[in-house]
Structure 1
Amino acid sequence: MDLTAPTGALAAAAADLVRLVPGKLIDPVLSGVLLTATAAGVELAASDRERTARVACSALVHTDGQVLVPAKPLAETLRALTAPEVRLVVEGNRLAIRAEGARFALPLLDHALHPGVTQVTGPGGVVSGAALATALSTVASTAARDEALPVFTGVRLRSEADRLVLRATDRYRMAIASLPWAADGDIDVMVPATLLVEVAKQVSGVDRVRLLVAPNQFAATWGQTLVTTAVLDGSYLSETKLALSDVDTKVTVDADALAAATRRVALYSDARGVVRLEVGDAEVRLRATDQNAGEAEESVKATPTGGRTSPSYQSRYLVDALRPFAGRQVELAIQPGMRATVVTAVEAEEVELRYILMPMLPPKA
């Protein structure tokens, strides 16, 4: 194999690939990048057997070929180069990375042992990259990070008529986002949130992202990138199992003002980080108390309707719930007792977002 490519483009492709498939250090083959050079350019591929990715890059190929080399050293070397072009050429049992005045060499691994990239064909649809990134930035962050509970570590993607609905929960909160999509079939699949967090970063500036499903597989493709993954069992995940119909208090408030007040008052919260939100006639008052830290309270202008139910929340979860609505007015639909509160934007947008937050027992006086 022998090729010359723009350094920046090749470095970006390698970096994207490593982030999509970090690799398994216990197996050098599954920590490698498979480079395939043809007349069409060079393709970089990676697989850890559960997740695969493929990224194409333009290149002037002098000699076709395929090699497997360690992925991270390749990506880091390309990122460090400042020369406008780089040459990759096989020299014996090494892949030489040549730039003006410099040479680096990576060991060749046995590419015959690499599992390759999974091909997924099946129903799916197309969404806006920006809209998908917006939805995932909130929804994926509410999934659990504890691998001991894998059923809570994913995002459920389900087509509902002309909308794609994303749901995730860590049992204490749930985020639901709905965005337009053009479908050629129904999908209902649970995808690991860790992958979707990275997908969100890479598609934010992309016009179109195609999502596909097959038995036990999910795929997303945009530009010259394809990523696939094995899926989780997510049929259980639905907000219909939560009681959301007993709202007796609604509060309209500025999301930024409430979040800022929550951060300040939370400095005086108990070990659980709990703050109480008391609903008044034209304001909400945040209170926190702790035997050692002292006590704090702060009022925020608001427009309440209905009752005056005053729940308590874990402060960091309340801040997380408000963050996606930065710069906007939100409505808090509060239920009595220990039932969930639903946070939504007052004005509708392309991506419809609902954040469901479970209350906590109030702090002790």
Structure 2
Amino acid sequence: MKFKVERDVLAEAVTWVARGLPARPPVPVLAGLLLEASEEGTLTLSAFDYEVSARITVPAEVQTGGTVLVLGRLLADISRNLPARPIEVSAEGSKLQLTCGSSRFSLLLMPSDDYPTLPTSPEASGTIDGDVFTQAVAQVSIAADRGDTLPILTGVRMEVDGDRITLLATDRYRLAQRELTWHPGGSDTSYVALVPARTLSDTARALGASGSVELALGSNAGGDGLIGFQAGQRRSTTRLLDGEYPKVASIFPSSVDTESVLKTSELVEAVKRVALVAERNTPVRLRFTDGQVAIEAGTGDDAQASEAVEAALTGPEIEIAFNPQFLLDGLGAVGTPYARLSFTQPSRPAVLTGQAEEEGEPDTSYRYVLMPVRFAS
């Protein structure tokens, strides 16, 4: 194998593919990155860890085609640090030689015959705007569980019904749901699957900068166990999670007694400051009265803090407490100048939505449900 490729092209391609390489691969070859040079003038780079696959094809001046396997993270580090000149790559014996200007590297080849066959992505099902996809996944994935106690809660539930997609995630303490539209290949598209949240988040960030992302949903309910994503020459698949996601729709309150609208940025800054004195797992208390919300943390002999923020109130006054980080996560996700908090009782879940103007209507396409924390009165 022998080819020449631009430094920036190789560095970007290797970095994208190598981002998902396992830190501690169960077998050594899974730390490798597969390079396939075609005499038609393309270089394809691939990585796979039995759960997630990534593949990208870039142009290259190929003199001799071939396939080699080398350590992915090492190749990524080298390619990023080479001078901005074309890179000549050739396989010689048991080594891969890289030459860029006066820089020369020799990498040990790994046994490519031992590398697993990459999965075939399902057929394309439709497209979604890249920036919408990225925002929606970020808004929902923050609520997915990060532990291993209940693996099913580490996923994002994706339900497709025609041109609507509903993403949902919960870790039992908060719940996030985002509804959005996409461009399906058929009007009768129906699909339900559970996608690992961390992988979905990484994929959305990596592909979302493109104008649109192609989704390959496979058969209904993820019958083939895979979901695929593609943007340009970047392709990725991930294995779906098995199991029945808990029916959490009942968590959404059916009625509202009190609502408060306030500037998102002001509440974020106030909660951050007050939370500085909150010990681990200690809530911040919010007391909503006419015209303001008072935010407090700390009691008794502990450090204490308080601050007040202007807030419009509709309905009875209410005092409620939240995990400060969970509250900040939701406020950061709404992405609008104003936030609306809707309450029933201090012991019942609250709903956070965003809105563009203080007197406007809330954008209910994204809802963040937050469980309150009991506090000593």
TM-score by length of 2: 0.91
Measure, in 2, the Cα distance between the counterparts of 1:300 and 1:271: 24
Instruction: Provide the residue aligned with 1:161 in structure 2.
Output: 162
Instruction: Provide the residue aligned with 1:203 in structure 2.
Output: 207
Q: Does 1:41 align with 2:42?
A: yes
Residue pair 2:278, 2:297 contacting (<8 A) in 1 also: yes
Query: Following superposition of structure 1 onto structure 2, how do residues 213-232 of structure 1 map, counting pairs within 5 Å?
Result: 213-214=217-218, 215-232=224-241
Instruction: Provide the residue aligned with 1:16 in structure 2.
Output: 16
Instruction: Provide the residue aligned with 2:267 in structure 1.
Output: 258
Measure, in 2, the Cα distance between the counterparts of 1:64 and 1:269: 61
Instruction: Provide the residue aligned with 1:29 in structure 2.
Output: 29
- Structure 1 gaps of 5+ residues are none
| TM-aligned CA deviation for residue 200 of structure 1 | 2.3
| TM-aligned CA deviation for residue 107 of structure 1 | 1.3
Instruction: Provide the residue aligned with 1:173 in structure 2.
Output: 174
Instruction: Provide the residue aligned with 1:147 in structure 2.
Output: 148
Instruction: Provide the residue aligned with 1:62 in structure 2.
Output: 63
SS for the counterpart of 1:236 is coil
Residue pair 1:88, 1:96 contacting (<8 A) in 2 also: yes
Instruction: Provide the residue aligned with 1:118 in structure 2.
Output: 119
Structure 1 residues 62 and 351 mapped into 2: Cα distance closer, same or farther (>3 Å)? farther
Measure, in 2, the Cα distance between the counterparts of 1:311 and 1:272: 15
Residue pair 1:20, 1:199 contacting (<8 A) in 2 also: no
Where has structure 1 moved over 4 Å in runs of 4 or more? 348-351
| TM-aligned CA deviation for residue 132 of structure 1 | 0.8
SS for the counterpart of 2:298 is strand
1:282 to 291, 308, 322: 291
Measure, in 1, the Cα distance between the counterparts of 2:301 and 2:88: 63
| TM-aligned CA deviation for residue 323 of structure 1 | 0.9
Structure 1 residues 172 and 49 mapped into 2: Cα distance closer, same or farther (>3 Å)? same
Measure, in 1, the Cα distance between the counterparts of 2:250 and 2:334: 25
Instruction: Provide the residue aligned with 2:249 in structure 1.
Output: 240
Residue pair 2:83, 2:101 contacting (<8 A) in 1 also: no
Moved more, 208-217 or 30-39: 208-217
Query: Following superposition of structure 1 onto structure 2, how do residues 332-351 of structure 1 map, counting pairs within 5 Å?
Result: 332-347=341-356
Measure, in 2, the Cα distance between the counterparts of 1:326 and 1:351: 13
Which residue identity does 2:179 align to in structure 1?
Answer: S
SS for the counterpart of 2:74 is helix
Measure, in 2, the Cα distance between the counterparts of 1:274 and 1:204: 35
Measure, in 2, the Cα distance between the counterparts of 1:349 and 1:211: 29
Measure, in 2, the Cα distance between the counterparts of 1:133 and 1:291: 44
- Structure 2 gaps of 5+ residues are 219-223
Residue pair 1:95, 1:108 contacting (<8 A) in 2 also: yes
Identity %: 31
SS for the counterpart of 2:198 is helix
Which residue identity does 1:318 align to in structure 2?
Answer: L
Measure, in 1, the Cα distance between the counterparts of 2:132 and 2:43: 30
Residue pair 2:355, 2:362 contacting (<8 A) in 1 also: no
Structure 1 residues 343 and 243 mapped into 2: Cα distance closer, same or farther (>3 Å)? closer
Residue pair 1:28, 1:70 contacting (<8 A) in 2 also: no
Instruction: Provide the residue aligned with 1:312 in structure 2.
Output: 321
Instruction: Provide the residue aligned with 2:3 in structure 1.
Output: 3
SS for the counterpart of 2:22 is coil
Which residue identity does 1:206 align to in structure 2?
Answer: S
Q: Does 1:105 align with 2:106?
A: yes
SS for the counterpart of 2:193 is strand
Residue pair 2:355, 2:363 contacting (<8 A) in 1 also: no
Structure 1 residues 16 and 254 mapped into 2: Cα distance closer, same or farther (>3 Å)? same
Measure, in 1, the Cα distance between the counterparts of 2:132 and 2:362: 10
Instruction: Provide the residue aligned with 2:194 in structure 1.
Output: 190
Moved more, 28-37 or 269-278: 269-278
Residue pair 2:128, 2:182 contacting (<8 A) in 1 also: yes
| TM-aligned CA deviation for residue 7 of structure 1 | 0.7
| TM-aligned CA deviation for residue 217 of structure 1 | 0.8
TM-score by length of 1: 0.94
Q: Does 1:136 align with 2:137?
A: yes
Which residue identity does 1:74 align to in structure 2?
Answer: L
SS for the counterpart of 1:287 is strand
Which residue identity does 1:360 align to in structure 2?
Answer: V
Measure, in 2, the Cα distance between the counterparts of 1:98 and 1:294: 60
Residue pair 2:195, 2:241 contacting (<8 A) in 1 also: yes
2:300 to 291, 294, 310: 291
Moved more, 25-34 or 221-230: 25-34
Q: Deviations over 1:19-65 (max 9, x none)?
A: 13436434221111111111141000111112111111110100010
Q: Deviations over 1:96-146 (max 9, x none)?
A: 111111211111111111112211224632111111111122211221111
| TM-aligned CA deviation for residue 233 of structure 1 | 3.0
Q: Does 1:358 align with 2:375?
A: no
SS for the counterpart of 2:37 is strand
Structure 1 residues 35 and 245 mapped into 2: Cα distance closer, same or farther (>3 Å)? same
Which residue identity does 1:355 align to in structure 2?
Answer: Y
| TM-aligned CA deviation for residue 331 of structure 1 | 0.8
Residue pair 2:337, 2:354 contacting (<8 A) in 1 also: yes
Measure, in 2, the Cα distance between the counterparts of 1:303 and 1:199: 39
